[in-house]
Amino acid sequence: MNRREMLKVGGAALVSTATNRMEGAQPSSHSSARVERWDLFEQSFSGPQGGNPFLDIWTRAVFRKGNREVSVDGFYDGNGTYKIRFMPDEPGMWSFVTDSNAAELKGKKGLFECTAAQGDNHGPVHVRDSYHFGYADGTPYFPFGTTCYAWVHQTEELQRQTIESLKTGPFNKIRMCIFPKWYQYNHGVPPRFPFPRNGEANDYTHFNVDFFRHIESCIQQLRAIHVEADLILFHPYDHWGFQAMPPDVDDRYLRYVIARFAAYRNVWWSLANEFDLMRKKTNADWDRYARIVTETDSYAHLRSIHYSHAPYDYSRVWCTHAGVQDYAFDKAAQWRMEWRKPVIFDECMYEGNINSRWGNLSGEEMTRRFWLCVVAGAYGGHGETYVSHDEIENDKAILWWSHGGTLKGSSPERIAFLRKLLEEIGAQGGGRIGFEATEPVYYLSARRNGNEAILWYFDFHQPSYYDFTLPENARFRAELVDPWEMTRKTMDGTFAGKSRISLPGKPYQAIIFHKI
């Protein structure tokens, strides 16, 4: 134990760090770190350095509180260091005991105190009310996600910009790949690889711990700004072999990722971006990955998969929600019924101006799609693909969709407006939701904590008046909302039952009725 390590153990009761290190075979029942509920507790151990620890040594720990037992896998972090990470979900004293096939990592014991969550720590996100999401502490979570597939593989400066953009932007979830990306506008060499490289070959028998540490630091930065990290575990846009690794490497990679990342509360698992484009993988492979993630992640983080052309069967039990690549928003109501799960239109094309169909929506259309998602009782997914002619000519294009950086489009501020509005009316739970084919509008009826609101969106319809059908047994006040101008105007009068209301005869307007 070096001086720094000794200070850590010695100071455990004074400082709130949850990173501890235990020496050799010494029992550590005196470890008394504190960790906030849903924060990460980490315990380091020294262990074997000989042979290949990545292949030869396994570790795990059982965490106990009262009658509860939670088992988690540990992982090798290089230089003879083994780590166990754990996200406690209940305040109070927790104990743990390790197990391993290495004598010096076996039977290690420890204690820590889980303290109450502070500030904006609401815990991990789970499914709520069948079709929606909520944080573990009961706070509703409305996913307003964006996509920066390869942001963690960019320069430090660009990553800093990405975090800054996310901090001030409307997004509370980001889709991001673990493996680096090779695709149009993405032909650079990433700064780190997940495995040691021998020329063009990967040494699949070892992990490059720096690679995974770096991703951890990204997950931590996202956690600090309350952004969920929707981690994409496999994807087809590859140049280095990661899309076609041997099955045992795939599985070891998944277990390693889960052992390292699962204790971060803001992690979601997406088995793939466009799984159906990964020609080397079979349905049995995807089933196996799903089983590994489901069985190995002790916290039951959200799990899904994303397709290109072949819609996945999201009714399958392992999926917690659907993450579709589609823009058939009028199907959302039916999908919800069939799958009994939340539907996120993770990829409904991107705002931008590039040459590809999926990457050149106008800001108006992107905004419209978010509204269509919401009134369909589903959620949208943002992405942005703007390039300038200069960037193309100099082969230095920075596209938010892949690299991160700064947001240039006109939809993000409108998405922020919609998110604020939805969070205000608390549109989760029951009520009639979705498209009414015989009506000119789409609406969402939301009830929460005795509040009730009904949101109607008129899309490209522009009625000069409309006969709304409201509940008879309550009175409502009405607001006219302009999603593009981002204005809200209270209308005269109160309303109940069938109510004819004059409208501006302008497309893309919305009305919210608030129960008085």
118/355 with CB nearer a copy of itself: 355
Residue 155 or residue 502: which is nearer to a copy of itself going by CB? 502
Listed ranges 30-38, 160-168, 277-285, 435-443: which one lies at the site for a copy of itself (CB under 8 A): 435-443
In this structure, what DSSP letter does residue 54 have? H
Asked if 460 interacts with a copy of itself (CB under 8 A), we say yes
CB 304 within 8 A of CB 286: no
Return the H-helix or E-strand segment holding 330: none
Instruction: Determine the size of the site formed for a copy of itself (CB under 8 A).
Output: 35
388 binds a copy of itself (CB under 8 A): yes
- 505 lies in the site for a copy of itself, by CB under 8 A: yes
Q: Is 469 in the site for a copy of itself (CB under 8 A)?
A: no
> Judging by DSSP bridges, how do beta strands 442-448 and 433-435 pair with one another?
antiparallel
365 lies in the site for a copy of itself, by CB under 8 A: yes
By beta-carbon proximity to a copy of itself, the closer residue of 296 and 462 is 462
Q: For residues 270 and 401, what is the distance between their CA atoms, to the nearest angstrom?
A: 17
* Residue 313 touching a copy of itself (CB under 8 A): no
- Using DSSP bridges, classify how beta strands 351-352 and 384-385 pair: parallel, antiparallel or unpaired: parallel
Using alpha carbons, list the distances in angstroms from residue 464 to 388, 414, 440, 508: 41, 24, 12, 13
Contacts from 319-323 at CB under 8 Å and sequence distance 24+? Answer: 319/290, 320/126, 320/127, 321/127, 321/133, 323/230, 323/270, 323/381
Which of 118-126, 231-239, 385-393, 480-488 is the region at the interface with a copy of itself (rule: CB under 8 A)?
A: 385-393
Site string for a copy of itself, 263-282 (x = CB under 8 A): --------------------
390 binds a copy of itself (CB under 8 A): no
Give the three-state DSSP class for 26.
Answer: coil
Name the segment binding a copy of itself (CB under 8 A); options: 15-23, 41-49, 335-343, 454-462: 454-462
Candidate segments 156-164, 177-185, 481-489, 499-507, binder of a copy of itself by CB under 8 A: 499-507
Rounding to the nearest 10 degrees, give the CA dihedral for residues 479, 482, 488, 492: -40
Does the protein bind a copy of itself through residue 355 (CB under 8 A)?
Answer: yes
Q: How far apart are CA 75 and CA 384, in angstroms?
A: 36
CA torsion, ordered 124, 89, 130, 275, to nearest 10 deg: 50
Sign of the Cα pseudo-torsion (472, 474, 477, 478, in order): negative
Please identify, using beta-carbon distances, which residue of 175 and 408 lies nearer to a copy of itself. 408
Q: Are 369 and 348 within 8 A, CB to CB?
A: yes
Kindly state the tokens that stand for 361.
């929506």
Question: Which residue in the set 7, 118, 465, 490 belongs to the binding site for a copy of itself (CB under 8 A)?
Answer: 465
Q: Of the listed pieces 74-82, 149-157, 262-270, 463-471, which binds a copy of itself according to CB under 8 A? A: 463-471
Residue 157 Cβ, how far from a copy of itself at the closest point, in Å? 25
Q: Which is nearer to a copy of itself, 71 or 410 (CB)?
A: 410
Closest CA to 508 of 366, 384, 379: 366
Residue 324 as a binder of a copy of itself (CB under 8 A): the answer is: no
For the beta carbon of residue 10, count every other beta carbon within 10 angstroms.
Answer: 10
The verdict on 499 binding a copy of itself (CB under 8 A) reads no
Q: Sort strands 228-234 and 173-177 into parallel, antiparallel or unpaired.
A: parallel
Choices 232-240, 259-267, 269-277, 453-461 (CB under 8 A): range interacting with a copy of itself = 453-461
Interface ranges with a copy of itself (CB under 8 A): 352-362, 364-365, 387-389, 392, 437-441, 458, 460-467, 502, 505-507
